[in-house]
């Protein structure tokens, strides 16, 4: 946001930040006990959080949940506990995966098809993908995990945007050679809480936990995360709300002449020959969206959080 303000100044209406894929209707914060601020996080509270994850995602008894301060912490931790490897990342996708594996000394390459990753030691797949929403069938991923495990390899599946598509998740199908990453802040709209998870077989989970060390999650995050993950009614209502909002956003973008390429119910990816000009016009109107240096013809739009914000976007696009 600071970079946008330096480029375009401070808009009179304030910034409308649509550059992220974060739910604009966050989970309502519960009253927090004073102890969660004053004391080191309790091991019992951490276990309660893990138990909530296990129930929500139907994690099998052969696997465990590891909690960390955001899925980003786990994205960085996995390469650090993995021997030097040939890593194939199904792309184009979220760039932090390649940066983390490269920074830890691994040989990293991007592949456009999983067939090209068959001989890699480690394969990374974001499913659904960011930014285009590409889906890889769960059965295909499970088969790939078995193939990699047979020769000591690893499949990492990042399900950061998987809460709104639970039928795609592999957490209930955890098998040797598979690690599933889950985000909390995106779906629950509380990215600032910094909470994320890895689901892995017990051996890998123990190694990850040892690497993260004691107190990997703050006391407030333990309380809020445990309650939110157990709230099935809020989850069901929110999935419907997000799907409806994404459909309205598609209509706004389509009316402005943008072609919808894909996305998830938390963001939409659109193409236009004049995408760079649209990005600039929106910025001058105080609306920040995501542009891509490697594809100047595409833009990613997060969800507006109200009818007023939808109208503001529509007006700026038509201007």
Domain count, the chain: 2
pLDDT at 206: 97
The burial class, CB within 10 Å (0-12 / 13-18 / 19+), for 119 is: exposed
- How many of the other CB atoms lie within 10 Å of CB of 96? 13
pLDDT digit string, tens, across residues 69-112: 999 999 999 999 999 999 999 999 999 999 999 999 999 999 99
Co-location of 68 and 202 in the same domain: yes
DSSP state of 84: S
Co-location of 54 and 92 in the same domain: yes
Co-location of 206 and 263 in the same domain: no
Residue-range definition of the domain harbouring residue 302: 2-25+233-318
Co-location of 214 and 200 in the same domain: yes
Buried residues in 268-280 as b, exposed as e (16+ CB within 10 A): bbbebeebeebbe
Measured at the CA of 9, the angle between CA 4 and CA 14, to 5 degrees, comes to 85
pLDDT at 81: 97
Co-location of 92 and 148 in the same domain: yes
Do residues 192 and 221 make contact, with C-beta atoms less than 8 angstroms apart?
no
Co-location of 15 and 140 in the same domain: no
Tokens of 11: 């808009």
Residue 59 lies inside a defined structural domain of this protein? yes
DSSP secondary structure string, 293-308? TT-TTEEEEE--SSHH
pLDDT digit string, tens, across residues 254-286: 999 999 999 999 999 999 999 999 999 999 999
- Cut 0.85: pTM above it: yes
The predicted model gives 129-136 an average pLDDT of 97
Count Cα atoms within 13 angstroms, Cβ side, for 134: 16
Do residues 220 and 39 make contact, with C-beta atoms less than 8 angstroms apart?
no
């Amino acid at each position: 946001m600071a970079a946008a303000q330096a480029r375009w100044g401070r808009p009179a209406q304030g910034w409308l930040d649509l550059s992220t894929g974060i739910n604009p209707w966050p989970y309502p914060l519960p009253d927090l006990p004073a102890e969660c601020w004053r004391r080191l996080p309790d091991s019992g509270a951490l276990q309660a959080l893990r138990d909530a994850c296990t129930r929500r995602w139907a994690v099998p008894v052969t696997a465990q949940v590891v909690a960390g301060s955001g899925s980003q912490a786990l994205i960085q931790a996995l390469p650090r506990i993995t021997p030097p490897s040939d890593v194939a990342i199904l792309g184009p996708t979220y760039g932090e995966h390649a940066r983390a594996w490269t920074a830890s000394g691994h040989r990293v390459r991007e592949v456009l098809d999983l067939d090209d990753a068959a001989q890699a030691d480690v394969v990374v797949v974001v499913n659904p993908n960011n930014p285009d929403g590409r889906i890889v069938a769960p059965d295909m991923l499970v088969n790939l995990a078995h193939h990699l495990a047979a020769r000591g390899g690893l499949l990492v599946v990042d399900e950061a945007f998987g809460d709104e598509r639970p039928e795609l998740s592999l957490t209930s199908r955890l098998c040797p050679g598979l690690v599933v990453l889950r985000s909390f802040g995106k779906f629950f709209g509380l990215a600032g809480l910094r909470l994320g998870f890895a689901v892995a077989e017990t051996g890998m989970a123990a190694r990850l936990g040892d690497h993260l060390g004691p107190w990997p999650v703050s006391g407030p995050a333990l309380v809020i995360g445990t309650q939110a993950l157990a709230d099935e009614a809020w989850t069901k209502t929110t999935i419907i709300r997000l799907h409806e909002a994404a459909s309205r956003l598609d209509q706004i973008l389509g009316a402005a002449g943008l072609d919808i390429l894909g996305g998830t119910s938390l963001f939409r990816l659109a193409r236009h020959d004049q995408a760079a000009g649209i990005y600039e016009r929106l910025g001058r109107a105080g609306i920040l969206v995501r542009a891509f240096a490697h594809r100047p013809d595409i833009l990613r739009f997060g969800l507006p959080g109200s009818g007023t914000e939808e109208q503001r976007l529509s007006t700026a696009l038509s201007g």
